[in-house]
A and B are shown apart, each in its own frame.
Chain A
Amino acid sequence: MQIAIRKQPGFYAGLVLPGVLIVSSLILYPLINGVYTSFTNTSPLFPDTRFVALDNYQFLVTESGFWESVGNTVLIVGVSIFGATSIAYLLALALNTGLRGAKFLRTAVFQIWVVPWIVIAILWAWLFSENYGLVNYIAIWLGFYDEPFKWLFHPQGSQWAVIMGYSWRSIPFLMVIILAALQGVPNDVNESAMIDGASFVQRQRLIVLPLIRNILVVAMLLQSVRLLQEITLVFVLTKGGPVNATMVLSLFTYKLAFEDWEFGLAAAAAILWLIMIMLLAVAMMKFVLRPTT
Protein backbone atom coordinates (compact mmCIF):
# COMPACT_ATOMS: atom_id res chain seq x y z
CA MET A 1 0.00 0.00 0.00
CA GLN A 2 1.19 3.47 -0.76
CA ILE A 3 0.15 6.51 1.16
CA ALA A 4 0.61 9.80 -0.61
CA ILE A 5 2.81 12.08 1.47
CA ARG A 6 0.96 15.08 0.10
CA LYS A 7 -2.29 13.84 1.57
CA GLN A 8 -0.86 13.24 5.03
CA PRO A 9 2.06 15.64 5.51
CA GLY A 10 1.47 16.07 9.24
CA PHE A 11 1.25 12.34 9.82
CA TYR A 12 4.40 11.67 7.84
CA ALA A 13 6.32 14.39 9.62
CA GLY A 14 5.15 13.07 12.98
CA LEU A 15 6.14 9.52 12.04
CA VAL A 16 9.70 10.31 11.06
CA LEU A 17 10.32 13.07 13.60
CA PRO A 18 11.56 10.95 16.55
CA GLY A 19 13.71 8.78 14.31
CA VAL A 20 15.20 11.76 12.52
CA LEU A 21 15.86 13.52 15.83
CA ILE A 22 17.62 10.52 17.34
CA VAL A 23 19.59 9.65 14.24
CA SER A 24 20.68 13.19 13.51
CA SER A 25 21.58 14.18 17.07
CA LEU A 26 22.92 10.89 18.41
CA ILE A 27 24.37 9.18 15.32
CA LEU A 28 25.02 11.67 12.50
CA TYR A 29 26.13 14.58 14.65
CA PRO A 30 28.51 12.38 16.69
CA LEU A 31 29.96 11.10 13.40
CA ILE A 32 30.52 14.60 11.99
CA ASN A 33 31.66 15.95 15.33
CA GLY A 34 33.94 12.92 15.68
CA VAL A 35 35.65 13.80 12.42
CA TYR A 36 36.00 17.40 13.59
CA THR A 37 37.19 16.39 17.08
CA SER A 38 39.87 14.19 15.55
CA PHE A 39 41.56 17.35 14.23
CA THR A 40 41.57 19.03 17.65
CA ASN A 41 43.06 18.43 21.05
CA THR A 42 39.64 18.31 22.73
CA SER A 43 39.71 17.01 26.28
CA PRO A 44 37.29 17.52 29.16
CA LEU A 45 40.36 18.00 31.35
CA PHE A 46 41.30 21.38 29.89
CA PRO A 47 39.00 24.07 28.50
CA ASP A 48 41.37 25.35 25.83
CA THR A 49 40.61 23.48 22.59
CA ARG A 50 42.88 24.04 19.64
CA PHE A 51 42.86 22.88 16.05
CA VAL A 52 45.84 20.57 15.63
CA ALA A 53 45.36 19.48 12.01
CA LEU A 54 46.69 15.96 11.51
CA ASP A 55 48.73 15.78 14.74
CA ASN A 56 46.42 13.18 16.32
CA TYR A 57 46.59 10.94 13.29
CA GLN A 58 50.32 11.36 13.02
CA PHE A 59 50.77 10.48 16.68
CA LEU A 60 48.48 7.45 16.33
CA VAL A 61 50.18 5.95 13.30
CA THR A 62 53.71 6.58 14.52
CA GLU A 63 54.06 6.61 18.28
CA SER A 64 51.12 4.94 19.94
CA GLY A 65 50.14 1.31 20.21
CA PHE A 66 47.53 1.88 17.52
CA TRP A 67 48.91 -0.51 14.91
CA GLU A 68 49.58 -3.08 17.57
CA SER A 69 45.92 -2.99 18.58
CA VAL A 70 44.86 -3.14 14.93
CA GLY A 71 47.03 -6.25 14.58
CA ASN A 72 45.57 -7.79 17.74
CA THR A 73 42.06 -7.02 16.56
CA VAL A 74 42.61 -8.55 13.14
CA LEU A 75 44.15 -11.64 14.71
CA ILE A 76 41.60 -12.13 17.48
CA VAL A 77 38.47 -11.27 15.49
CA GLY A 78 39.73 -12.95 12.32
CA VAL A 79 40.66 -16.26 13.93
CA SER A 80 37.45 -16.23 15.98
CA ILE A 81 35.26 -15.62 12.95
CA PHE A 82 36.88 -18.24 10.75
CA GLY A 83 37.12 -20.78 13.55
CA ALA A 84 33.54 -20.22 14.66
CA THR A 85 32.25 -20.31 11.09
CA SER A 86 33.96 -23.63 10.38
CA ILE A 87 32.59 -25.27 13.52
CA ALA A 88 29.17 -23.71 12.96
CA TYR A 89 29.16 -24.98 9.37
CA LEU A 90 29.91 -28.55 10.42
CA LEU A 91 27.28 -28.44 13.16
CA ALA A 92 24.72 -27.01 10.77
CA LEU A 93 25.51 -29.72 8.19
CA ALA A 94 25.01 -32.40 10.82
CA LEU A 95 21.77 -30.85 12.05
CA ASN A 96 20.53 -30.61 8.47
CA THR A 97 20.74 -34.34 7.78
CA GLY A 98 17.23 -34.94 9.02
CA LEU A 99 18.53 -35.85 12.45
CA ARG A 100 15.84 -36.58 14.99
CA GLY A 101 15.91 -34.01 17.77
CA ALA A 102 17.74 -31.49 15.60
CA LYS A 103 15.51 -28.67 16.81
CA PHE A 104 16.24 -29.48 20.42
CA LEU A 105 19.98 -29.64 19.74
CA ARG A 106 19.84 -26.31 17.95
CA THR A 107 18.16 -24.76 20.98
CA ALA A 108 20.77 -26.28 23.28
CA VAL A 109 23.56 -24.69 21.25
CA PHE A 110 21.74 -21.41 20.92
CA GLN A 111 21.49 -20.81 24.64
CA ILE A 112 25.20 -19.95 24.51
CA TRP A 113 24.25 -16.83 22.56
CA VAL A 114 22.09 -15.75 25.48
CA VAL A 115 24.94 -15.79 28.02
CA PRO A 116 25.74 -12.13 28.76
CA TRP A 117 29.31 -10.99 28.02
CA ILE A 118 29.90 -10.03 31.64
CA VAL A 119 29.08 -13.62 32.60
CA ILE A 120 31.47 -14.96 29.96
CA ALA A 121 34.16 -12.69 31.37
CA ILE A 122 33.71 -13.99 34.93
CA LEU A 123 33.40 -17.56 33.73
CA TRP A 124 36.49 -17.35 31.51
CA ALA A 125 38.52 -16.06 34.46
CA TRP A 126 37.48 -19.18 36.36
CA LEU A 127 37.97 -21.63 33.48
CA PHE A 128 41.41 -20.27 32.63
CA SER A 129 42.62 -19.73 36.18
CA GLU A 130 46.07 -21.13 36.67
CA ASN A 131 45.85 -23.68 39.46
CA TYR A 132 42.22 -24.69 39.62
CA GLY A 133 41.03 -23.85 36.13
CA LEU A 134 39.18 -26.50 34.19
CA VAL A 135 41.10 -25.72 30.99
CA ASN A 136 44.45 -26.47 32.56
CA TYR A 137 43.07 -29.61 34.16
CA ILE A 138 41.67 -30.97 30.90
CA ALA A 139 44.73 -30.03 28.86
CA ILE A 140 47.07 -31.70 31.36
CA TRP A 141 44.81 -34.74 31.55
CA LEU A 142 44.87 -35.00 27.74
CA GLY A 143 48.64 -34.67 27.86
CA PHE A 144 49.04 -31.36 25.98
CA TYR A 145 51.41 -30.07 28.65
CA ASP A 146 52.54 -31.01 32.15
CA GLU A 147 52.57 -27.88 34.27
CA PRO A 148 49.60 -25.52 34.79
CA PHE A 149 49.85 -22.86 32.11
CA LYS A 150 49.36 -19.20 33.06
CA TRP A 151 46.88 -18.55 30.28
CA LEU A 152 45.97 -15.03 31.27
CA PHE A 153 49.51 -13.94 32.08
CA HIS A 154 51.01 -15.05 28.79
CA PRO A 155 50.59 -12.89 25.67
CA GLN A 156 49.62 -15.65 23.25
CA GLY A 157 47.79 -17.56 25.99
CA SER A 158 45.57 -14.60 26.76
CA GLN A 159 44.93 -13.99 23.06
CA TRP A 160 43.78 -17.59 22.72
CA ALA A 161 41.59 -17.31 25.80
CA VAL A 162 39.87 -14.29 24.23
CA ILE A 163 39.65 -16.03 20.84
CA MET A 164 37.96 -19.02 22.48
CA GLY A 165 35.49 -16.71 24.22
CA TYR A 166 34.70 -14.85 20.99
CA SER A 167 34.35 -18.09 19.00
CA TRP A 168 32.23 -19.75 21.65
CA ARG A 169 29.82 -16.82 21.69
CA SER A 170 29.75 -16.61 17.85
CA ILE A 171 29.08 -20.26 17.01
CA PRO A 172 25.34 -20.30 17.85
CA PHE A 173 24.55 -17.24 15.72
CA LEU A 174 26.54 -18.47 12.73
CA MET A 175 25.11 -21.98 13.09
CA VAL A 176 21.51 -20.77 13.06
CA ILE A 177 22.11 -18.63 9.98
CA ILE A 178 23.99 -21.36 8.12
CA LEU A 179 21.32 -23.91 9.01
CA ALA A 180 18.63 -21.61 7.60
CA ALA A 181 20.72 -21.16 4.46
CA LEU A 182 21.31 -24.90 4.07
CA GLN A 183 17.59 -25.51 4.25
CA GLY A 184 17.26 -23.34 1.17
CA VAL A 185 19.62 -25.57 -0.83
CA PRO A 186 17.51 -27.77 -3.09
CA ASN A 187 17.97 -31.40 -2.20
CA ASP A 188 17.86 -32.79 -5.74
CA VAL A 189 20.96 -30.81 -6.81
CA ASN A 190 22.90 -32.38 -4.00
CA GLU A 191 21.54 -35.85 -4.63
CA SER A 192 22.18 -35.87 -8.36
CA ALA A 193 25.75 -34.75 -7.68
CA MET A 194 26.07 -37.65 -5.28
CA ILE A 195 24.80 -40.08 -7.90
CA ASP A 196 27.34 -38.63 -10.32
CA GLY A 197 29.99 -39.61 -7.81
CA ALA A 198 30.86 -36.25 -6.27
CA SER A 199 32.52 -36.72 -2.88
CA PHE A 200 31.30 -35.01 0.28
CA VAL A 201 34.01 -32.34 0.11
CA GLN A 202 33.41 -31.75 -3.61
CA ARG A 203 29.69 -31.33 -3.03
CA GLN A 204 30.29 -28.77 -0.27
CA ARG A 205 32.85 -26.85 -2.28
CA LEU A 206 31.17 -26.90 -5.67
CA ILE A 207 27.47 -26.93 -4.85
CA VAL A 208 26.52 -26.00 -1.30
CA LEU A 209 29.05 -23.24 -0.55
CA PRO A 210 28.39 -21.26 -3.76
CA LEU A 211 24.66 -21.46 -3.06
CA ILE A 212 24.85 -20.19 0.52
CA ARG A 213 27.84 -17.94 -0.04
CA ASN A 214 26.09 -14.59 0.16
CA ILE A 215 24.25 -15.37 3.37
CA LEU A 216 27.44 -16.79 4.85
CA VAL A 217 29.45 -13.68 4.01
CA VAL A 218 26.80 -11.31 5.37
CA ALA A 219 26.57 -13.33 8.59
CA MET A 220 30.35 -13.31 9.00
CA LEU A 221 30.48 -9.57 8.35
CA LEU A 222 27.69 -8.88 10.86
CA GLN A 223 29.36 -11.00 13.50
CA SER A 224 32.75 -9.36 12.81
CA VAL A 225 31.18 -5.95 13.35
CA ARG A 226 29.69 -7.18 16.64
CA LEU A 227 33.00 -8.59 17.81
CA LEU A 228 34.76 -5.36 16.86
CA GLN A 229 32.35 -3.43 19.09
CA GLU A 230 32.66 -5.99 21.89
CA ILE A 231 34.67 -4.79 24.85
CA THR A 232 33.45 -6.49 28.04
CA LEU A 233 35.54 -9.66 27.81
CA VAL A 234 38.90 -7.94 27.35
CA PHE A 235 37.95 -5.16 29.76
CA VAL A 236 37.33 -7.61 32.59
CA LEU A 237 39.45 -10.64 31.79
CA THR A 238 42.76 -9.18 30.62
CA LYS A 239 42.39 -5.37 30.68
CA GLY A 240 44.14 -5.45 27.33
CA GLY A 241 47.23 -7.16 28.77
CA PRO A 242 49.54 -8.82 29.28
CA VAL A 243 51.88 -6.43 27.45
CA ASN A 244 48.92 -5.20 25.35
CA ALA A 245 48.49 -8.63 23.72
CA THR A 246 44.70 -8.41 23.98
CA MET A 247 44.46 -4.65 23.46
CA VAL A 248 41.85 -4.60 20.73
CA LEU A 249 40.63 -1.45 18.94
CA SER A 250 37.45 -1.08 20.99
CA LEU A 251 39.35 -1.13 24.27
CA PHE A 252 42.20 1.00 22.89
CA THR A 253 39.79 3.71 21.71
CA TYR A 254 37.64 3.55 24.82
CA LYS A 255 40.68 3.91 27.11
CA LEU A 256 41.98 6.89 25.12
CA ALA A 257 38.61 8.57 25.45
CA PHE A 258 37.44 7.75 28.95
CA GLU A 259 40.55 6.83 30.90
CA ASP A 260 43.06 9.26 29.39
CA TRP A 261 40.29 11.73 28.45
CA GLU A 262 42.04 12.41 25.14
CA PHE A 263 38.90 12.93 23.07
CA GLY A 264 40.84 14.21 20.05
CA LEU A 265 43.11 11.18 19.89
CA ALA A 266 40.27 8.77 20.59
CA ALA A 267 38.15 10.35 17.85
CA ALA A 268 41.04 9.96 15.40
CA ALA A 269 41.44 6.30 16.39
CA ALA A 270 37.69 5.75 15.97
CA ILE A 271 37.70 7.40 12.54
CA LEU A 272 40.57 5.20 11.38
CA TRP A 273 38.72 2.17 12.77
CA LEU A 274 35.56 3.20 10.91
CA ILE A 275 37.48 3.72 7.66
CA MET A 276 39.00 0.26 7.95
CA ILE A 277 35.60 -1.39 8.50
CA MET A 278 34.11 0.51 5.59
CA LEU A 279 36.95 -0.62 3.32
CA LEU A 280 36.48 -4.19 4.49
CA ALA A 281 32.72 -4.06 3.90
CA VAL A 282 33.11 -2.50 0.45
CA ALA A 283 35.77 -5.04 -0.52
CA MET A 284 33.57 -7.89 0.64
CA MET A 285 30.54 -6.60 -1.24
CA LYS A 286 32.59 -6.04 -4.35
CA PHE A 287 34.69 -9.18 -4.48
CA VAL A 288 32.95 -11.78 -2.38
CA LEU A 289 29.22 -11.18 -2.68
CA ARG A 290 27.68 -12.43 -5.88
CA PRO A 291 24.71 -10.68 -7.38
CA THR A 292 21.65 -12.82 -6.82
CA THR A 293 19.71 -13.68 -9.91
Chain B
Amino acid sequence: MTQAATTDPTAVPGPLQRPPTDWVKIAIDLAIYAGVIGSLAVLLIPVAWTISTSFKPLDQVFDYPPQFVPRDVTFENYRAMFDPVLGRMFFNSFAVGIISAGVSTIVGAMTGYAIARFRFSGNDAVMLFFMATLAFPIPMIMITTYIMFANFGLLNTYWAMILGHVVITLPVTVWLLRNFFDQLPGEVEEAALIDGAGPWYTLFRIVLPMAKPAVSSAAIFVFVTSWNELLFGLTFVSDTELRPLPAGIIMIFLQEFEGQWSEMMALAVIVSIPVLLIFVFFQNAFLRGVTAGAVKG
Protein backbone atom coordinates (compact mmCIF):
# COMPACT_ATOMS: atom_id res chain seq x y z
CA MET B 1 0.00 0.00 0.00
CA THR B 2 1.22 3.46 -0.83
CA GLN B 3 0.63 4.47 2.76
CA ALA B 4 3.69 2.49 3.73
CA ALA B 5 5.90 5.01 1.97
CA THR B 6 4.59 7.79 4.14
CA THR B 7 4.78 6.17 7.52
CA ASP B 8 7.25 7.48 10.00
CA PRO B 9 10.56 5.65 9.59
CA THR B 10 11.18 6.09 13.29
CA ALA B 11 7.97 4.24 14.05
CA VAL B 12 9.61 0.89 13.46
CA PRO B 13 12.02 0.50 16.34
CA GLY B 14 14.93 -1.82 16.58
CA PRO B 15 18.43 -0.95 15.41
CA LEU B 16 20.02 -3.24 12.85
CA GLN B 17 23.07 -3.51 15.04
CA ARG B 18 23.07 -5.11 18.46
CA PRO B 19 26.30 -3.92 19.98
CA PRO B 20 27.80 -5.69 22.97
CA THR B 21 28.52 -2.56 25.00
CA ASP B 22 27.05 0.86 25.26
CA TRP B 23 29.96 2.87 23.98
CA VAL B 24 30.05 0.80 20.81
CA LYS B 25 26.40 1.58 20.28
CA ILE B 26 27.02 5.26 20.82
CA ALA B 27 29.96 5.19 18.43
CA ILE B 28 27.87 3.43 15.77
CA ASP B 29 25.00 5.86 16.22
CA LEU B 30 27.37 8.78 15.93
CA ALA B 31 28.96 7.29 12.82
CA ILE B 32 25.54 6.82 11.22
CA TYR B 33 24.56 10.37 12.10
CA ALA B 34 27.81 11.70 10.70
CA GLY B 35 27.37 9.66 7.54
CA VAL B 36 23.76 10.68 6.97
CA ILE B 37 24.31 14.34 7.73
CA GLY B 38 27.50 14.36 5.66
CA SER B 39 25.82 12.88 2.60
CA LEU B 40 22.82 15.10 3.14
CA ALA B 41 25.10 18.13 3.16
CA VAL B 42 26.66 17.03 -0.12
CA LEU B 43 23.26 16.35 -1.66
CA LEU B 44 21.94 19.74 -0.63
CA ILE B 45 24.97 21.76 -1.78
CA PRO B 46 23.32 22.58 -5.14
CA VAL B 47 20.20 23.90 -3.38
CA ALA B 48 22.22 25.96 -0.89
CA TRP B 49 24.43 27.31 -3.66
CA THR B 50 21.40 28.40 -5.71
CA ILE B 51 19.87 30.26 -2.80
CA SER B 52 23.18 31.79 -1.80
CA THR B 53 23.97 33.00 -5.33
CA SER B 54 20.49 34.45 -5.74
CA PHE B 55 21.13 36.92 -2.89
CA LYS B 56 24.54 38.10 -4.10
CA PRO B 57 25.26 41.22 -6.11
CA LEU B 58 26.54 40.14 -9.52
CA ASP B 59 30.11 41.29 -8.85
CA GLN B 60 30.38 39.01 -5.82
CA VAL B 61 29.08 35.97 -7.66
CA PHE B 62 32.51 35.26 -9.09
CA ASP B 63 34.36 35.57 -5.78
CA TYR B 64 37.22 33.17 -5.41
CA PRO B 65 37.18 31.18 -3.17
CA PRO B 66 33.38 30.89 -3.41
CA GLN B 67 31.41 32.30 -0.46
CA PHE B 68 28.42 30.30 0.73
CA VAL B 69 27.27 33.16 2.93
CA PRO B 70 26.94 36.27 0.75
CA ARG B 71 29.16 39.15 1.88
CA ASP B 72 26.42 41.62 1.02
CA VAL B 73 22.85 40.41 0.82
CA THR B 74 20.84 41.99 -1.96
CA PHE B 75 17.24 41.54 -3.08
CA GLU B 76 17.99 43.23 -6.39
CA ASN B 77 17.99 39.90 -8.26
CA TYR B 78 14.49 39.15 -7.04
CA ARG B 79 13.33 42.68 -7.81
CA ALA B 80 14.46 42.12 -11.40
CA MET B 81 12.01 39.20 -11.56
CA PHE B 82 9.01 41.53 -11.42
CA ASP B 83 8.70 41.43 -15.14
CA PRO B 84 5.44 41.26 -17.09
CA VAL B 85 6.77 38.60 -19.47
CA LEU B 86 7.80 36.34 -16.59
CA GLY B 87 4.54 37.06 -14.79
CA ARG B 88 2.66 35.95 -17.87
CA MET B 89 4.65 32.68 -17.93
CA PHE B 90 3.80 32.04 -14.30
CA PHE B 91 0.16 32.66 -15.06
CA ASN B 92 0.30 30.28 -18.04
CA SER B 93 1.99 27.57 -16.01
CA PHE B 94 -0.57 27.93 -13.24
CA ALA B 95 -3.50 27.92 -15.66
CA VAL B 96 -2.27 24.89 -17.62
CA GLY B 97 -1.31 23.05 -14.43
CA ILE B 98 -4.58 23.67 -12.61
CA ILE B 99 -6.81 22.82 -15.58
CA SER B 100 -4.71 19.72 -16.38
CA ALA B 101 -4.95 18.63 -12.75
CA GLY B 102 -8.73 19.08 -12.78
CA VAL B 103 -9.29 17.25 -16.06
CA SER B 104 -6.84 14.42 -15.38
CA THR B 105 -8.14 13.86 -11.85
CA ILE B 106 -11.83 13.86 -12.80
CA VAL B 107 -11.33 11.59 -15.80
CA GLY B 108 -9.00 9.42 -13.74
CA ALA B 109 -11.56 9.18 -10.95
CA MET B 110 -14.36 8.21 -13.32
CA THR B 111 -12.22 5.62 -15.10
CA GLY B 112 -10.75 4.31 -11.86
CA TYR B 113 -14.22 4.05 -10.34
CA ALA B 114 -15.50 2.12 -13.33
CA ILE B 115 -12.56 -0.29 -13.15
CA ALA B 116 -12.90 -0.76 -9.39
CA ARG B 117 -16.66 -1.20 -9.24
CA PHE B 118 -17.53 -3.01 -12.45
CA ARG B 119 -15.29 -6.03 -12.37
CA PHE B 120 -14.56 -7.84 -15.54
CA SER B 121 -11.83 -10.27 -16.46
CA GLY B 122 -9.69 -7.78 -18.35
CA ASN B 123 -9.28 -5.45 -15.35
CA ASP B 124 -5.67 -6.23 -14.62
CA ALA B 125 -4.73 -6.09 -18.28
CA VAL B 126 -6.30 -2.63 -18.50
CA MET B 127 -4.30 -1.42 -15.49
CA LEU B 128 -1.11 -2.91 -16.88
CA PHE B 129 -1.76 -1.20 -20.19
CA PHE B 130 -2.24 2.11 -18.39
CA MET B 131 1.09 1.78 -16.62
CA ALA B 132 2.79 0.68 -19.85
CA THR B 133 1.65 3.86 -21.60
CA LEU B 134 3.96 5.77 -19.26
CA ALA B 135 6.81 4.26 -21.27
CA PHE B 136 5.42 5.35 -24.66
CA PRO B 137 7.92 7.81 -26.10
CA ILE B 138 6.43 11.28 -25.69
CA PRO B 139 7.78 12.44 -29.08
CA MET B 140 5.85 9.56 -30.71
CA ILE B 141 2.61 10.70 -29.08
CA MET B 142 3.41 14.28 -30.06
CA ILE B 143 3.83 13.49 -33.76
CA THR B 144 0.26 12.33 -34.19
CA THR B 145 -1.28 14.77 -31.73
CA TYR B 146 0.55 17.62 -33.46
CA ILE B 147 -1.13 16.72 -36.75
CA MET B 148 -4.50 16.21 -35.03
CA PHE B 149 -4.33 19.46 -33.10
CA ALA B 150 -3.28 21.29 -36.27
CA ASN B 151 -6.35 19.92 -38.05
CA PHE B 152 -8.68 20.86 -35.21
CA GLY B 153 -7.13 24.30 -34.79
CA LEU B 154 -5.98 23.46 -31.28
CA LEU B 155 -2.31 24.28 -31.84
CA ASN B 156 -1.25 27.46 -30.12
CA THR B 157 -3.94 27.21 -27.43
CA TYR B 158 -3.82 26.22 -23.77
CA TRP B 159 -5.77 23.10 -24.72
CA ALA B 160 -2.90 21.71 -26.78
CA MET B 161 -0.73 21.73 -23.65
CA ILE B 162 -3.50 20.67 -21.28
CA LEU B 163 -4.43 17.63 -23.37
CA GLY B 164 -0.75 16.70 -23.63
CA HIS B 165 -0.29 16.94 -19.87
CA VAL B 166 -3.49 14.99 -19.25
CA VAL B 167 -2.31 12.19 -21.52
CA ILE B 168 1.03 11.76 -19.76
CA THR B 169 -0.53 11.83 -16.27
CA LEU B 170 -3.81 9.96 -16.75
CA PRO B 171 -2.24 6.52 -16.14
CA VAL B 172 -1.08 7.61 -12.71
CA THR B 173 -4.35 9.27 -11.71
CA VAL B 174 -6.33 6.20 -12.81
CA TRP B 175 -3.94 3.99 -10.86
CA LEU B 176 -4.12 6.06 -7.68
CA LEU B 177 -7.89 6.41 -7.67
CA ARG B 178 -8.63 2.85 -8.70
CA ASN B 179 -6.51 1.56 -5.82
CA PHE B 180 -8.32 3.84 -3.43
CA PHE B 181 -11.80 2.81 -4.63
CA ASP B 182 -10.74 -0.84 -4.44
CA GLN B 183 -10.16 -0.46 -0.72
CA LEU B 184 -13.20 1.67 -0.07
CA PRO B 185 -16.02 -0.46 1.35
CA GLY B 186 -19.10 -0.15 -0.81
CA GLU B 187 -21.71 -0.04 1.97
CA VAL B 188 -22.10 3.72 1.93
CA GLU B 189 -22.67 3.73 -1.80
CA GLU B 190 -25.12 0.85 -1.58
CA ALA B 191 -27.03 2.66 1.12
CA ALA B 192 -27.12 5.83 -0.97
CA LEU B 193 -28.27 3.95 -4.04
CA ILE B 194 -30.97 2.14 -2.07
CA ASP B 195 -32.13 5.45 -0.64
CA GLY B 196 -32.77 6.51 -4.19
CA ALA B 197 -29.71 8.66 -4.90
CA GLY B 198 -28.64 8.51 -8.54
CA PRO B 199 -25.30 6.89 -9.33
CA TRP B 200 -23.78 10.19 -10.50
CA TYR B 201 -24.88 11.93 -7.34
CA THR B 202 -23.44 9.06 -5.30
CA LEU B 203 -20.11 9.25 -7.12
CA PHE B 204 -19.60 13.00 -7.00
CA ARG B 205 -21.25 13.84 -3.70
CA ILE B 206 -20.51 10.78 -1.57
CA VAL B 207 -17.66 8.71 -3.00
CA LEU B 208 -15.32 11.45 -4.22
CA PRO B 209 -15.41 13.41 -0.95
CA MET B 210 -14.41 10.18 0.83
CA ALA B 211 -11.60 9.75 -1.69
CA LYS B 212 -10.05 13.09 -0.78
CA PRO B 213 -6.58 11.63 -0.02
CA ALA B 214 -6.37 9.92 -3.42
CA VAL B 215 -7.93 12.87 -5.23
CA SER B 216 -5.46 15.31 -3.71
CA SER B 217 -2.52 13.01 -4.48
CA ALA B 218 -3.63 12.74 -8.08
CA ALA B 219 -4.23 16.46 -8.52
CA ILE B 220 -0.89 17.36 -6.94
CA PHE B 221 0.92 14.82 -9.07
CA VAL B 222 -0.59 16.23 -12.26
CA PHE B 223 0.08 19.84 -11.32
CA VAL B 224 3.72 19.17 -10.46
CA THR B 225 4.24 17.13 -13.63
CA SER B 226 2.66 19.88 -15.69
CA TRP B 227 4.83 22.53 -13.99
CA ASN B 228 7.88 20.49 -15.03
CA GLU B 229 6.86 19.62 -18.56
CA LEU B 230 8.83 21.23 -21.35
CA LEU B 231 7.96 19.66 -24.68
CA PHE B 232 4.28 20.47 -25.18
CA GLY B 233 4.78 24.10 -24.24
CA LEU B 234 7.79 24.32 -26.52
CA THR B 235 6.29 22.72 -29.61
CA PHE B 236 2.51 23.03 -29.55
CA VAL B 237 2.50 26.73 -28.80
CA SER B 238 4.24 29.43 -30.80
CA ASP B 239 2.67 32.51 -29.23
CA THR B 240 4.96 34.02 -26.58
CA GLU B 241 1.89 35.08 -24.61
CA LEU B 242 0.91 31.43 -24.08
CA ARG B 243 4.24 29.88 -23.12
CA PRO B 244 4.51 28.25 -19.70
CA LEU B 245 7.65 28.59 -17.58
CA PRO B 246 10.05 25.87 -18.83
CA ALA B 247 9.54 26.66 -22.53
CA GLY B 248 9.41 30.40 -21.92
CA ILE B 249 12.58 30.41 -19.86
CA ILE B 250 14.41 28.55 -22.62
CA MET B 251 13.08 30.71 -25.44
CA ILE B 252 13.42 34.11 -23.79
CA PHE B 253 15.41 34.25 -20.59
CA LEU B 254 18.40 32.02 -21.20
CA GLN B 255 19.91 34.26 -23.88
CA GLU B 256 18.94 37.45 -22.10
CA PHE B 257 20.54 36.32 -18.84
CA GLU B 258 23.77 35.00 -20.33
CA GLY B 259 26.33 35.18 -17.51
CA GLN B 260 23.96 36.94 -15.07
CA TRP B 261 24.17 34.05 -12.65
CA SER B 262 22.73 35.83 -9.64
CA GLU B 263 19.53 36.72 -11.52
CA MET B 264 19.35 33.23 -13.02
CA MET B 265 19.50 31.72 -9.55
CA ALA B 266 16.79 34.07 -8.33
CA LEU B 267 14.72 32.85 -11.28
CA ALA B 268 15.52 29.24 -10.32
CA VAL B 269 14.34 29.87 -6.77
CA ILE B 270 11.04 31.50 -7.66
CA VAL B 271 10.24 28.84 -10.28
CA SER B 272 10.73 26.18 -7.58
CA ILE B 273 8.73 27.92 -4.87
CA PRO B 274 5.19 26.94 -5.94
CA VAL B 275 6.00 23.22 -6.13
CA LEU B 276 8.11 23.41 -2.98
CA LEU B 277 5.18 24.95 -1.09
CA ILE B 278 2.89 22.18 -2.31
CA PHE B 279 5.41 19.64 -1.09
CA VAL B 280 5.77 21.31 2.32
CA PHE B 281 2.04 21.63 2.94
CA PHE B 282 0.80 18.39 1.38
CA GLN B 283 3.74 16.10 1.99
CA ASN B 284 1.81 12.86 2.41
CA ALA B 285 -0.45 13.41 -0.58
CA PHE B 286 2.60 14.37 -2.59
CA LEU B 287 4.50 11.22 -1.66
CA ARG B 288 1.53 8.97 -2.45
CA GLY B 289 1.40 10.38 -5.97
CA VAL B 290 5.12 10.02 -6.48
CA THR B 291 5.29 6.44 -5.26
CA ALA B 292 2.20 5.28 -7.16
CA GLY B 293 2.93 2.08 -9.00
CA ALA B 294 6.12 1.26 -7.14
CA VAL B 295 4.68 0.53 -3.74
CA LYS B 296 1.71 -1.72 -4.24
CA GLY B 297 -1.61 -0.07 -3.45
Contacts and interface: CB of A to CB of B under 8 A. Distances in A.
B216 interface: no
A29 B144 contact: yes
B246 A98 contact: no
B295 A26 contact: no
Nearest to A195: B18
A1 B9 contact: no
Contacts, number: 296
A269 B228 CA distance: 24
A194 interface: yes
Contact of B46 (A87, A108, A127, A256): A127
Contacts of B199: 3, 8, 11
Interface string B107-119: 1101101100111
Contact of A114 (B118, B261, B272): B272
Interface stretch (B32-40, B70-78, B80-88): B32-40
Interface residues of A, number: 107
Chain A interface secondary structure, helix, strand, loop or mixed? helix
Interface in A150-200: 168, 171, 173, 176-177, 179-181, 183-184, 187, 190-191, 194-195, 200
Place the interface of chain B in its size category.
Answer: 35 or more
A231 interface: yes
Contact of B12 (A33, A96, A191, A203): A96
A132 B143 contact: no
Contact of A19 (B107, B135, B142): B107
Interface string A249-275: 110011011100001001100110110
Contact of B140 (A34, A102, A109, A215): A34
Given A117-B228, A232-B246, A235-B250, 18 more contacts: A15-B114, A18-B107, A34-B144, A98-B12, A102-B10, A105-B36, A109-B43, A113-B290, A119-B268, A127-B46, A132-B64, A134-B45, A137-B66, A173-B291, A179-B9, A225-B134, A266-B143, A278-B132
Interface of A: 1-3, 5, 8, 11-12, 14-16, 18-19, 22-23, 25-27, 29-31, 33-34, 37, 44, 87, 90-91, 93-100, 102-103, 105-119, 122-123, 126-127, 129, 131-132, 134, 137, 141, 168, 171, 173, 176-177, 179-181, 183-184, 187, 190-191, 194-195, 200, 203, 215, 218-219, 222, 225, 228-229, 231-232, 235-236, 249-250, 253-254, 256-258, 263, 266-267, 270-271, 273-274, 277-278, 281
